[in-house]
With several copies, the nearest count.
Chain A
C-alpha cells in the first residue's frame, strides 16, 4: 500500500521560496496568480494491507522524522488502489 505525505510550511511563515517562484511567474507574464504555496511530497510504499494501520504508520514517521511541526503542516493520504 502507498501513502502520500504532503508537507507545507505553516501559513504564517513567509516561505521565501514560494515568494520567489510567484515573482518569477509574474515576471514571465503569469498574472492570474493569487497565491502560491510550495511543499514537499513524500510517497512511500509500505508493506501493509490495512488502510488504518498504513495511516498510523505514516503518522508515526511524520512525527518521528518527516515533519517539523513548529514550521510545517502535513496531511496523509492513503492510496488504496496502489
Chain B
C-alpha cells in the first residue's frame, strides 16, 4: 500500500494536463487562462482547487451578474448574501439566521445519505454564524408516482431528512412536496434552516489577524464526495478502485456534538472567524476566509485529521467529508478551545496560520504542494454573460375551452386524492416537529410554520414567534418565469400573513437546467426579475440563497423551480391564526365578490390533473391588490375578528375551502353568486372556473362577526363574498348542483400518499 500513497501524492504534484483539467470540470479556455495568469502550469492539486473554485456552485459564474440585481437591503437586514447565511433583526437583541440549500444530485444517487447530509450542511451554515438552529423546512420534488424509482427515492429522502433532523434535535416544521415527470431522473431536495442568535454575537467568516492560528475541528477527513470525474481518471493511477468517488455519509451524532461545542466556544471571545466545510470542503472554506479578510493562509496538510492513511493533498483539499469546521482563533487561546472540543470528543488540530501574502500556501511532507494567489481563485474567477431567451406561454385559456364534463364532486374527489394536493401526513409524521418545545404550529395546521422565540415569554405574555413558509409553483414558472417567480414570493407572503405574522425577508434556491441553453438562461433571468419585483414591493429583501444548475438528464430539464423561503415575525404567539374553521363560523372570501362568475383555469391544478399538458397564461398578478388584501387581513386580525384563514392557491376555491373544514368535520351550504344560480349545459363551465380557478389575491377567512368585516371591507373598497355558515353536519351543498361529504373528501385527501406507497 505504500507505493499507492507515493503514487497518489506523486500524481497530485505532477503538472496537470489539459485533459485532466477538463475531467475536473474546467473548460479549455478556463485552463488556458489559469496557465497564462499563473505563468506556469499548475499541478494536479492546484488545478483541483481551481476547478472547485471555478465550479458553478462556488463561483456562481452563470448567475452572478443577475443575482446582483436582487434587493438585499432593508432596515431589518443585519447580513445579506455573501456569508454562510443571511441575518435579520427581529427586535430586542434577537436576530434570525436563515438559508436554504440544495442537495439534489447526491440525493438521487443515495437518497438517505444525500438528504441527511443536505440537512446537516444547512444546519452547519446556521450555527457557524453563532445561531442555535430552531427549525428546519424541506422542499422536495420527485418524479411521477408510477415511476417505481419515485417510491424508493421518496422513502429514502424522507427517512434521511428525518434521520438527521430528528437525531440532532431540531424540529422539522414544514415544507413542500410535488411530483412531476420532469423530476423522474433528477429529484430536488432543498433544505432550509432557521437559527436564533443574539444581535451582538454574530460570527463571520472573514479572516483577521496575521499569524493567528487556523483550527480544524469535527470529524476526520475521508475520501467522501471527491469529484467523480477526476478521480475515476485512469491517468492518475492504475489503481482505479481506490479512486472512485465515495458517498458522503452524515453523522448527526457528531453533528450534534459539533453544534453544542461550537455554541459553547462561541460564549467566549476567542473565535475571530469561523466557516463550515461545505461544498468543496477545505478548499472553499480556507480560500473564502482568507480572501474575505484580504489576507493569506498557510496550511500544513500533515496536520489534517484523516480517516484513511494514504490520502493525497488533492484528496484532502477536495474531500467533502461532513461535520467539519474551520476557525481562526486569537493567538494563545488554542488550549482553551481544545479543552471544549475534547470534552465533546471531537478531533481538534492546529493546521496552519493566517499570513499577509494573499496566497493560499499548502505544505505536505515538507514540500509545498500549492502556491496560488487568492485573487486568481476568487476575484478573477470566470463570470459569464450567457445568452438568454425568455419564453412565456401567452395562450389565454378560457374555462369554456378546457372544462371537463364531469360533476364538481367528481373533479373535487380527483383533486383530493391527487398526490400534489393530498395530505403529506405520511411524510411529516416521520419528522420530529415538536422537539425543543417551541413549535407553535406546523404548516399542516396553519398557512406557515411558527416556532416560538425561546424565552421571549414574560409573565402573562406568551412570547413572539418566527413564521416560515416555502413556496414555488413550477407550473406558473414554466409558463411565465417572471410572473411565476413573482407569485411564488406573493404566495409565501400570503401564507405568512394568513398565520397572523408579518413578512420580513427571503432566502431562495434557484433550481434550473443547463444555463448554457438560451431558454434555461432565460428562465433564470426572468425568475430573478420576478423575485426582485415582488420582494421590492413587499419590502422583503433577499438575504441568502443558493443556485443549483444543470438539473437535467439526457438533455431534458426539470421544471424551473425557484424555491422561495420566507420568514416573518408574529409579536404574540397567542395570535397565531390556524387553518381550521369552527362550527357556526361564517366563511368569507376576501378579494372576490358576487360579480365573479368564472375563474382562471390556465396553468391550474385542475388543468394539470385532467389533462396531460399544462399550459396557458398564468393568472394575472396584481401586486397592489395582493398587498391591499394582506394588509386588510392583518388589520381585521388586529381587531380579533378572524378565527381561521387560508389563502386560495393550488386547486382554487373549493379545495382550499375543504382544507378549512376537515379538522372539525364541518359541513356547509355554499352560497353561490346570483349569476351562477341557474346555469345550464352550455354555461356550466363557469361553475368549474368559479370552484377551481386559481385567480390570485384571494383569502378565505372564518369569522363570528361577518357584518363587521363586510362593513370594513366596503369602506376600504375591498371585495368580499359570503360563502355561508359552517355546520356540524359534515355535508357540503353546492346550490342545486352537487352535494358531498366532508368526511369522504378528507379520507381521499389522507389516502393520497399512502395509496401510492402501499406495495
Contacts and interface: CB of A to CB of B under 8 A. Distances in A.
- Do A and B touch directly, given a CB cutoff of 8 Å in the complex? yes
A12 B246 contact: yes
A71 B759 contact: no
A23 B257 CA distance: 15
Contact of A70 (B110, B251, B307, B321): B110
Interface in B308-355: 308, 321-322, 345
Contact of B113 (A12, A23, A27, A71): A71
B110 A12 contact: no
B109 A27 contact: no
B110 A71 contact: yes
Interface residues of B, number: 21
Contacts of B242: 12
Nearest to A14: B249
B109 A16 contact: no
A23 B223 CA distance: 22
A12 to B, nearest CB: 5
B426 to A, nearest CB: 16
B225 to A, nearest CB: 11
18 contacts: A10-B246, A12-B244, A13-B224, A13-B246, A14-B219, A14-B222, A14-B224, A14-B249, A14-B307, A14-B321, A15-B249, A16-B253, A16-B254, A20-B253, A68-B110, A70-B110, A70-B247, A71-B249
B247 A13 contact: yes
Given A12-B222, A16-B249, A23 B109 contact: no
Given A14-B222, A14-B307, A70 B249 contact: no
A11 to B, nearest CB: 9
A24 B152 CA distance: 12
Contacts of A15: 249
Contacts of B110: 68, 70-71
Interface in A35-73: 68, 70-71
B702 to A, nearest CB: 42
A68 B307 CA distance: 23
A10 B244 CA distance: 12
Given A12-B222, A12-B242, 13 more contacts: A12-B244, A13-B224, A13-B246, A13-B247, A13-B249, A14-B224, A14-B307, A14-B322, A15-B249, A16-B251, A23-B759, A71-B110, A71-B247
A16 B322 CA distance: 11
A24 B249 contact: no
A15 B219 CA distance: 12
Interface string B223-257: 11000000000000000001010110101011000
Contacts of A70: 109-110, 247
A24 B224 CA distance: 25
Contacts of B251: 14, 16
Interface string A1-37: 0000000001011111000100110010000000000
Contacts of B244: 12
Nearest to A27: B759
Residue among B251, B322, B345 with the highest chain A CB neighbour number at 10 A? B251
A16 B223 CA distance: 15
Nearest to A10: B246
Contacts of B219: 14
B355 to A, nearest CB: 32
A12 B254 contact: no
